[in-house]
Structure 1
Amino acid sequence: MRVLISDGISEDVSEAMSETVGQLEKELDNVTSMPEKVKDWVLDQIPGVVHGAMMIAAALILFFIGRKVIKWITKLVDKSLKKSKLEEGVIKFLHSCISIVLNIVLIVLLAGFLGLETTSLAALIGSAGLAIGLSLQGSLSNFAGGVLILIVKPFVIGDYIVSGAEEGTVIHIDIFYTRLLTVDNRLVVIPNGSLSNAVITNVTNETIRRVDFKVGIEYGEDIDKVKGILADIATANEKVLKDKPVDIYVDALDASSVNMGLRVWTSSADYWSVKWEILENIKKEFDKNNVSIPFNQLDVNIKQ
């Protein structure tokens, strides 16, 4: 049985309306309190944000200070290396290595300062270095060879060298390759890895060189006469060093000829011109003095 109130509304409807109004009041209270909650959250975050900003600012300051220190250290190392009279290529290489190592150390220190895990960072750098090293084995071999060449100095720019089938004047040495210019103006590029492991003949390392000649004469020729001709040829050449001995001798008794030897000394720069001039003069003087240069002979005996 329902009980009616004075305004004609039932008690059930009144209770439902009261509950609805109460919920609306709560929602309105939540909405009106939102700015306060946001404000409180922002205020709670401010100390952390300020601390983080200060840490980043301090890290940036330390980074710039560290960079200045690295530049100062590399300049100091450069001065010391230049006093040691190392090649410019070696100095640049060591400068780059020291700079890279110091910058990596600086980054790791800053990561630790900011609270990052430095162990993982170091492992990442090591793994990257290993992967790069495995993929660049040939280049690293050339790199190591270039360092050895620049430090040990088996040759320098301007030297004439012979290595295997290649020879020429060294025109450039860098960390990975050495460039030669041949006498017929060809550019030869040799990897430093193979060059550092090969036999190298530095032709122009010394300021003077000995020029050797071998010439054959017939067995019937007068050896003393031939020695006199060779001595006159050597003495007449202005590029032959007069303070060095001239050697004239019988080098071998071959099947078809008596082989005479002549040794003279000249400057390294005049080596080829002296060799060509004396060879030409030997032929001219032998012809003038009727000295025969024999051909190879073969005796054939026929038995009946």
Structure 2
Amino acid sequence: MTPRNITGVSEFLLLGFSEEPELQPLMFGLFLSMYLITVFGNLLIILAVISDSHLHTPMYFFLSNLSFVDICFTSTTIPKMLWNIQTQSKVITYEGCIIQMHFFTLFIGLDIFLLTVMAYDRFVAICHPLHYMVIMNPRLCGLLVLASWIICVLHSLLESLMMLQLSFCTALEIPHFFCELNQMIQLANSDTFLNNMVMYFVAVLMAGGSLTGIIYSYSKIVSSIRGITSSHRKYKAFSTCASHLSVVSLFYCTGLGVYLSSAASHSSHSSATASVMYTVVTPMLNPFIYSLRNKDLKRGLKILFQKKTINKPIILRLKKYP
């Protein structure tokens, strides 16, 4: 079959996980539950940070941005998958596939940058506590988030424009539950050398550079904590980093596991299953990791729910006496 320009193709097929009909209701219920937990959990963190003035600090500013990105991240892939399961269809339009790939690339990049910025925030807080509020001023925090958005938007736009230059066969089956950049490049019939070069170069630059920055920050943090004489202060310093370190470990370990498992097994279905860990499970667990042992965030959630209770209208029922 000779390749022709993709403009002649109107839709792709997302193969997903399993074609067995009896598993479809179970998968729909499972992913719907995980999606709702992710959305409401991260939304509660955002509302708690807004409600409590004590949480108007750089740490929680970055956390609320991470929660917003996680909501968008899961919303890029899961609703379409749920719709396909419900309608028993695997179809996604070409335009929809490009848009999904664009926003997936955008939000996964933002996740990487925000985790790096949060590591830098913890580094300044523990290694330079006296200058923390001067260094991490609102202007710098805003610039860090803005720069992350600009870089990630430009990167995802570049990948999308390069994808539009590729040609495909008339029938395309994507062995995944969403349009992933790597899967799309592998299915193209035209020369993908430049696409692969850009994809791997950016992956090494962004993910590798981010991980290097995080490791460097925590090496300095560990050195500073070891120099603290008080055990109480040591525990307090470590507890401020424990949640972020857990999220970073979960994100990078699951992401690395996906690519290692797919490279070892050469199975697209196993890669799709492993991708659930960093695309669905990690954003779902983030609110629990940050809130379970965080007293400040628990207080913010308590204030949020108290405001909701107070704002409820009070209805007085008056008895009418003759």
Question: TM-score scaled to structure 2, two decimals?
Answer: 0.24
Structure that is richer in strand per residue: 1
Relative CO higher for 1 or 2, CA cutoff 8 Å, sep ≥ 6?
A: 2
Larger radius of gyration: 1
Q: Which structure features the higher share of helix residues?
A: 2
